[in-house]
Structure 1
Amino acid sequence: MLRFTLDRRGFLGRLLMTGGAGVVPVAAAATPHDHGGNATVGAVDHAANGFDPHEILTDWETGTVETLPDGRRLRRFEITAVDREIEIAPGLIFPAWTYNGRVPGPTLRATEGELIRIEFINSGSHVHTMHFHGIHSARMDGVPGAGEVAPGESFTYEFTARPYGCHLYHCHSQPLKRHIHKGLYGAFIVDPDPDLHPEARAVAEGRLLGHPRNAEWQEMVIVMNGFDMNFDDENEVYAANSIAFAYQDRPIPVERSRPVRIYLVNVTEFDPINSFHMHANFFDYYDHGTTLTPTLRTIDTVMLCQAQRGIIEMSFAEHEPGLYMFHAHQSEFAELGWMSLLEVS
């Protein structure tokens, strides 16, 4: 078994290039955007991983929908836990536990009031669950004794999608810190039903996937995470959507004329907080996404502990085109992979 003996700073020196002395040299082609100072050497094989962090941004898993005899919508999902290795930085392989073969797992998206039915199949090597942050019965909680699934077995979770907002799901088997850290987590978005919010119908329609008002927005999901490569309960790599520097090496394209909405989730293990900081702009923030009016207005940094999440909304309509940085404002996190760019055009 390959064992890592480097600490965080050792990883930084070995894997990243900076302007300082004694670091790994790298060709200019490896860092097409040098905003941020640090960059990985080489490229991650997204095809081998089975997922691309740029596709994860807008890859909404909406399942299949049918109408029940009582007129209610039933939305079905199928999720499988699978052990697999993923490359989180060029040449750096992490032995992950995954939902549907990716980290983070699929971004499940539903509408407030729908009946959700999830067939969970455990094809992994350990017992696993799916615990949803939402409102549901005790027997659907996805914890030991209530929805825990042994290898080779399955379980069906069923509950009503509520409350609306930006939520998450994760494994709740023991030891909890390992089941989460190994990759068993994902975003769970519940769009508001405009019919239930007549006082704010236009705002609710703007969040409802498929509605013309929603199409006016540039939406994306960002799951903040970290990776403990030597299993010492301390992360050596940090990322947005799992791949270090993915959105610095290849910035996220944004149209200046359309507003931006980010569904932000923190599932970083072994660190008490993570954060999101936007350069050269300010945003409104909806804590947990469970309100249709901002809970914080005109801020440029928000801090989240594990499992906290929310919705960020901002505009670049008055900005000049260019590269706009966003990252964790824990400097070490940014230096070790959680550094990104929006390319406004």
Structure 2
Amino acid sequence: MSETKLWLRQKIDRRLLLAGGLAAAGGTAIAAGAARGETGHAGHGVAVAPGGAEPPAHNAAHGAMITVGEVDDARNGFDPELLLSEWETGTVSTLPDGRTLRTFELTAEDKEIEIAPGIFFPAWTYNGRVPGPALRATEGERLRIVFKNGGSHPHSIHFHGIHAARMDGVPGAGLIGPGEEFVYEFDAKPFGCHLYHCHALPLKRHIHKGMYGAFVIDPDPARHPDYEAAARSRLLGSPENAGWQEFVMVMNAFDTNFDNENEVYAANTIAHAYAKKPIRVVKDKPIRVYLINVVEFDPINSFHLHGNFFDYYNQGTTLTPTLRTVDLITQCQAERGILEFSFKEHEPGLYMFHAHQSEFTELGWVGMFDVVEAIS
């Protein structure tokens, strides 16, 4: 057998084993029933569960290939619905020179989390959640991040931003052992959609295990007079920003059997979370998505929006789009950007978004925007 055919056979076998393993895990499964002849079909291509009951339309949109059951968010200690708009802004004080000092506290912690119904993963976390807290600051502020390592391995925080070498979070510059503490301090620049992650070795294991999070720096409108309106719309707490519906999505995946290939894919950790509970948005208010890719073991991830197009700001470091009117963008690992779009001209309904690698979609990375006239 050729190497190519052998690789393909192993790939197929791994996915079939995954489906079988999920089915055996507490009654949960990737419901690929249509492929296995376990479901019938109603009209209009809607899959029907055994017994004839039609599932919700959004659950059937990809052939009813969706996890069965619910993840225990309370046990996890985080809710993917809340992660979408839950910003950590730290504590604020004033430096002698009058500048703002914004302080964050992060703690590394070993923690088992549930990533799909009945599927548990031994994660390494920041503050007990994956992804870690979504840190948000304003351009020009002084940032102080107090990092405590409560985990079982050496860890660090590497920020994608501008800072001194001694604050880089790599071995020899901010890497700390279990029980130790380190304080990172630098100015918030440049503005944009960034991330932070552990930079201990082996790097792929520390990132994959869950040590990453969003790091957003809002532009200071006073520094950008030619684009002041755009800058104000991104500045958290401003009246202009209040007119936007903002969400943070960290695209991630999990190698559940540690063979350097992923079995579960998601945005914000929980497979199919936003397919089962679509993200409700008001059609007349614009939407801004801070999108970050931290998937390990797969070189490219993507985001595709159904029935609509968006403007894209690569890295988020510009106030004018780097791509206009697109419905698909790709990101390599650690790449990120800002998507802006609206459903103002659309009828209400469920609009899908997902990775355009079908395998990622079927294994968890898919969701829906539930567009409504108003939210009561």
Tell me, what secondary structure is at the counterpart of 1:88? strand
2:36 paired residue among 7, 18, 21: 21
Tell me, what secondary structure is at the counterpart of 2:58? coil
1-side partners of 2:88 and 2:50: how far apart? Answer: 38
What is the CA distance between 1:100 and its match in structure 2?
A: 0.3
2-side partners of 1:192 and 1:26: how far apart? Answer: 53
Is the helix fraction higher in 1 or 2?
A: 2
What is the CA distance between 1:276 and its match in structure 2?
A: 0.2
What is the CA distance between 1:36 and its match in structure 2?
A: 2.5
1:332 paired residue among 342, 359, 363: 359
What is the CA distance between 1:189 and its match in structure 2?
A: 0.2
Structure 2 counterpart of 1:68, which letter?
Answer: L
Q: What residue is the counterpart of 1:12 in the other structure?
A: 19
For each residue in 1:229-249, what CA deviation from the matched residue of structure 2 results, as whole angstroms up to 9, or x when unmatched?
A: 000000000001000000000
1-side partners of 2:169 and 2:38: how far apart? Answer: 46
What is the CA distance between 1:7 and its match in structure 2?
A: 1.9
For each residue in 1:156-205, what CA deviation from the matched residue of structure 2 results, as whole angstroms up to 9, or x when unmatched?
A: 00000000000000000000000000000000000000000011101000
Tell me, what secondary structure is at the counterpart of 2:137? strand
Residues 29 and 85 of structure 1: is their aligned pair in 2 closer, same or farther, counting only changes over 3 Å?
Answer: farther
What is the CA distance between 1:20 and its match in structure 2?
A: 2.2
Tell me, what secondary structure is at the counterpart of 1:7? helix
TM-score by length of 2: 0.88
1-side partners of 2:134 and 2:54: how far apart? Answer: 32
For each residue in 1:197-225, what CA deviation from the matched residue of structure 2 results, as whole angstroms up to 9, or x when unmatched?
A: 01110100000000000000000000000
Q: What residue is the counterpart of 2:6 in the other structure?
A: none
**Which has the bigger relative contact order, CA under 8 A and spacing at least 6?**
1
What is the CA distance between 1:75 and its match in structure 2?
A: 0.1
Tell me, what secondary structure is at the counterpart of 2:284? coil
Structure 1 counterpart of 2:17, which letter?
Answer: G
Q: Kindly report which structure 2 residues correspond to 1:136-151, keeping only aligned pairs within 5 A, or say none.
A: 136-151=163-178
Q: What residue is the counterpart of 1:276 in the other structure?
A: 303
TM-score by length of 1: 0.96
* Uncovered stretches (5+) of structure 1, i.e. residues with no partner: 1-5
2-side partners of 1:10 and 1:325: how far apart? Answer: 28
Contact 1:187 1:223 in 2 (8 A): yes
Q: Kindly report which structure 2 residues correspond to 1:1-345, keeping only aligned pairs within 5 A, or say none.
A: 7-13=14-20, 14=23, 15-18=29-32, 19-22=34-37, 33-34=58-59, 35-37=61-63, 38-345=65-372
Contact 1:36 1:339 in 2 (8 A): no
Larger radius of gyration: 2
Residues 31 and 12 of structure 1: is their aligned pair in 2 closer, same or farther, counting only changes over 3 Å?
Answer: farther
What is the CA distance between 1:330 and its match in structure 2?
A: 0.4
Contact 1:205 1:214 in 2 (8 A): yes
What is the CA distance between 1:39 and its match in structure 2?
A: 1.2
How much is the aligned-residue C-alpha RMSD, in angstroms? 1.5
Structure 2 counterpart of 1:17, which letter?
Answer: A
2-side partners of 1:141 and 1:50: how far apart? Answer: 29
2-side partners of 1:153 and 1:249: how far apart? Answer: 40
What is the CA distance between 1:23 and its match in structure 2?
A: 5.6
Q: What residue is the counterpart of 2:46 in the other structure?
A: none
Residues 30 and 79 of structure 1: is their aligned pair in 2 closer, same or farther, counting only changes over 3 Å?
Answer: farther
User: Once structures 1 and 2 are overlaid, which stretch shifts more, 184-193 or 32-41?
Assistant: 32-41
Tell me, what secondary structure is at the counterpart of 1:17? coil
1-side partners of 2:271 and 2:304: how far apart? Answer: 17
What is the CA distance between 1:26 and its match in structure 2?
A: 7.2
Contact 1:30 1:41 in 2 (8 A): no
2-side partners of 1:261 and 1:66: how far apart? Answer: 29
For each residue in 1:94-132, what CA deviation from the matched residue of structure 2 results, as whole angstroms up to 9, or x when unmatched?
A: 000000000000000000000000000000000000000
What is the CA distance between 1:10 and its match in structure 2?
A: 2.4
What is the CA distance between 1:12 and its match in structure 2?
A: 3.4
Structure 2 counterpart of 1:11, which letter?
Answer: L
2-side partners of 1:218 and 1:12: how far apart? Answer: 36
Contact 1:16 1:23 in 2 (8 A): no
What is the identity percentage for the equivalent residue pairs of Structure 1 and Structure 2?
66
Q: What residue is the counterpart of 2:43 in the other structure?
A: none
2-side partners of 1:53 and 1:9: how far apart? Answer: 27
2-side partners of 1:11 and 1:229: how far apart? Answer: 10
Tell me, what secondary structure is at the counterpart of 2:275? helix
Tell me, what secondary structure is at the counterpart of 2:369? strand
What is the CA distance between 1:22 and its match in structure 2?
A: 5.0
2-side partners of 1:271 and 1:101: how far apart? Answer: 25
* Uncovered stretches (5+) of structure 2, i.e. residues with no partner: 1-12, 24-28, 40-48
